[in-house]
Amino acid sequence: MCADTATREVREGELYDLIIVGGGMVGASLAIALGDSGLRIAIVEAHVPGVETQPTYDDRGIALAYGTQRIFSALNVWAEIAAIAEPIREIHVSDRGHFGATRLRADEEGVPALGQVVTARALGQVLVRHVLDAAALDVIAPARVMDFHDDGGEVQVEIERGGVVDSLRCRLLVAADGGESAIRTQLDVPVVQWQYGQSAVVTNITPTQPHRNVAYERFTDTGPVALLPMSEGRCAVVWTVRDAQVDAVLALDDDAFIDAFQQRFGYRLGRFVRVGRRTAYPLTLLRARESVRGRVAIIGNAAHTLHPIAGQGFNLGIRDVAALAEVIGKGHAAHGDVGAPDVLARYEQWRRGEQRNVALVTDGLARVFSNPLGAVRLGRNIGLLAMDLLPAARHALARGAMGLAGRQPRLARGVPLD
């Protein structure tokens, strides 16, 4: 879907309940969640909302956890995503060349699939279509939020589009503007942040043997490799390499890349025969120490950017969406002010714990499983083996991977908002 501009007529000084900055996966999901709420909502996106132009909707494979599927089902979007998704029925976790391994199975967890894999591009097509179709949403794009001022009662937002700056007002400003969030920066919100010195090389690859809907997470001495089942027998690859090696890996031609990846992954799926275009993403951990300041809420990658090893970034972000949509609905019903301190305090208290825990676990996995030291390797192999032998531990891991741990918002329980 591509349009030159999606901007609806907006009037200078207009007062919205909510302005969402960023129409990436998280901002678009929030707009869809609240599209029918009766609130006055605008969503501002820097790019024309079309998959060819919006870099956030690129070719990376995204594993959507079972909990995310339930949220999209409650939003009436799942049927369209299911049509373009490939189910994960088993996750196989192993340490390459060592004894430790464990398997998580959908049938053991009593669910049809542990998750589903889509490309960000295809997911973007569905989300953008729903955002553009929602008559009650003002989509302002391509346009950029340049500045804002929170005076305690409302937020004044300066929006630039085609060289013209408009000033809009809102009760609540939601920063869904990604890892480099200018809104978070302008608020001077402190962050915990570091670079891993690693990049994720992403592509798709076709093995000679069928993937049988198994996702592989293999830990190697240079970093983790994930292989996710996709349509037409292909697999999405996320290969973590040290930054110093990225240019060399990207410079490999198809045959040389296949050889190098085959050595990393091994022959569990036979030989790899075809590979797609390669893209690299530098890997960072970022966690904002506050996700609420005044009348501003920070969600998705703007609040937490994770190593993709466990495929948790968007899955965590959409649970922010489900919780924020729920507290906004309650706040609106209670006193009509969706950006009031009690509403945002409820959101922050609800989400802080899970955001911190998922960031800690993801970071721990990235470090422990990239560590070549013998003692660390032995410890993680014993851990994997123990996990394989202990159904309760496996079940806890599976529930975390499916996004079902902790207090679940209504949407995550598959229940629509009031």
- Binding interface with ligand FAD (CB under 6 A): 21-27, 44-47, 54, 56, 60, 62-63, 144-145, 176-178, 182, 200, 202, 238, 281, 300-301, 308, 311-315, 317
Whether the Cβ atoms of residue 304 and residue 362 lie closer than 8 Å to each other:
no
Closest distance between ligand FAD and the C-beta of residue 340, in Å? 24
Select from 408, 390, 404, 410 the least CA-distant residue to 104.
390
Closest distance between ligand FAD and the C-beta of residue 11, in Å? 19
Task: Return the number of the residue (28 or 377) whose C-beta is nearest ligand FAD.
Answer: 28
Select from 42, 44, 296 the least CA-distant residue to 152.
296
CA atoms of 392 and 162, how far apart (whole Å): 57
Q: Write out the H or E segment, with its range, that includes residue 44.
A: strand 41-44
Q: How far does CA 85 lie from the centroid of its chain?
A: 16
Task: Return the number of the residue (281 or 352) whose C-beta is nearest ligand FAD.
Answer: 281
Closest distance between ligand FAD and the C-beta of residue 43, in Å? 9
Task: Return the number of the residue (354 or 377) whose C-beta is nearest ligand FAD.
Answer: 354
Closest distance between ligand FAD and the C-beta of residue 335, in Å? 29
Residue nearest to ligand FAD (CB): 24
Closest distance between ligand FAD and the C-beta of residue 56, in Å? 3
Residue for token pair 């032995």 = 378
Task: Return the number of the residue (257 or 332) whose C-beta is nearest ligand FAD.
Answer: 257
Ordered strands of the 61-65 beta sheet: 61-65, 115-119, 86-88
Which pairs count as long-range contacts for 144-149, CB under 8 Å and 24+ apart, including other chains?
Answer: 144/44, 144/46, 145/19, 145/21, 145/44, 145/177, 145/182, 145/183, 147/186, 148/173, 148/183, 148/186, 148/296
Closest distance between ligand FAD and the C-beta of residue 136, in Å? 20
Task: Return the number of the residue (24 or 87) whose C-beta is nearest ligand FAD.
Answer: 24
Closest distance between ligand FAD and the C-beta of residue 333, in Å? 27
Task: Return the number of the residue (330 or 356) whose C-beta is nearest ligand FAD.
Answer: 356
Whether the Cβ atoms of residue 344 and residue 320 lie closer than 8 Å to each other:
no
| Phi, psi (deg, nearest 5) at residue 233 | 75, 5
Cis previous bond, 282, omega within 30: no
Closest distance between ligand FAD and the C-beta of residue 391, in Å? 26
CA atoms of 176 and 362, how far apart (whole Å): 21
CA dihedral sign of residues 342, 358, 92, 225: positive
Task: Return the number of the residue (182 or 340) whose C-beta is nearest ligand FAD.
Answer: 182
Residue for token pair 């942040």 = 193
Task: Return the number of the residue (46 or 187) whose C-beta is nearest ligand FAD.
Answer: 46
Task: Return the number of the residue (87 or 311) whose C-beta is nearest ligand FAD.
Answer: 311
Whether the Cβ atoms of residue 49 and residue 132 lie closer than 8 Å to each other:
yes
Alpha helices for 8-119 (secondary structure H): 25-34, 66-74, 78-82, 106-109
Closest distance between ligand FAD and the C-beta of residue 14, in Å? 17
